[in-house]
Amino acid sequence: MTKEVNYKIIILNDKSYEISPILASQKIDPTDFKRGSKVLKKLINLGVITYKDLPSNLNKLLKIDGAGEKVVSYIFDRLIILDKNLIRNSYTYHGSNYKELEAFRNWIVARAHLEPSKLDTRYIQLEELKFLSYLQDEDISLKSLGQTIGVSSEQARQILIKGRIKVKLNTIKFFPRLADKFQRLSEIRMGNIEFCKDSLVIYILYLSFNNLSRK
């Protein structure tokens, strides 16, 4: 499931930055740039519509009339600022339950190792394996889980426990609507999960907030 999320890496000389999927999917808005707006408008006319459509190497923008080194450098720095602002806002205001779930999904599958608090990437791997096992009506053992990432069964268990605790704490802090919903659910049956693109994150929320009979 994590493969569905695409990062956009931009490079300028010896600098590079990984744009989040949140910004990468948005349409380029020249008004967000005090400098270089004309260059961006020319790019849009050439079919570069979203930020993910930008060339990875921004030095290529120098070929466009009016795009000097200072302008391209400004565009690079401005993209980083826009991205960080979007990430921060996605964890402070969501506007609706749906948007909050979407923001939570972005954290789990896209920014888990960066924002808002670092999660062990192995934790996501283990939860994905457990979820796939559940979908196949199987019960994967801790030993098998551990073998897939090169750790013992006890280490796999600890990774899952610590990961779920961190998910719960950060959900309460950054995703209050989801926390309230899942804290109020007492008897949860996994069969109630609606299998859609959010199935994995709902599964993770269930396991983090409830004592399920099937873990």
pLDDT in tens, 115-162: 556 778 888 889 888 888 887 778 889 999 999 999 999 999 999 999
Does 99 map to a domain? no
State the pTM of this model. 0.53
The answer to whether residues 38 and 11 touch, using CB atoms and an 8 Å cutoff, is: no
Does 109 map to a domain? no
Does 103 map to a domain? no
Residue 215 has pLDDT above 50, yes or no: no
Range of the domain at 182: 116-209
**126, 202: one domain:** yes
User: Within a 13 Å sphere around the CA of 205, how many CA atoms are in the beta-carbon half?
Assistant: 27
Q: Which helix or strand (DSSP H or E) is residue 17 part of?
A: strand 15-19
210: number of Cβ within 10 Å: 15
Q: Which of 56, 90, 124 is the last residue before a domain boundary? A: 90
**82, 145: one domain:** no
Structurally, the chain folds into a number of domains equal to 2
Does 96 map to a domain? no
**12, 82: one domain:** yes
**196, 120: one domain:** yes
- Residue 15 DSSP SS3: strand
Does 35 map to a domain? yes
Token pair listed for 41: 């408008």
Distance CA 44, CA 58 (A): 15
Does 125 map to a domain? yes
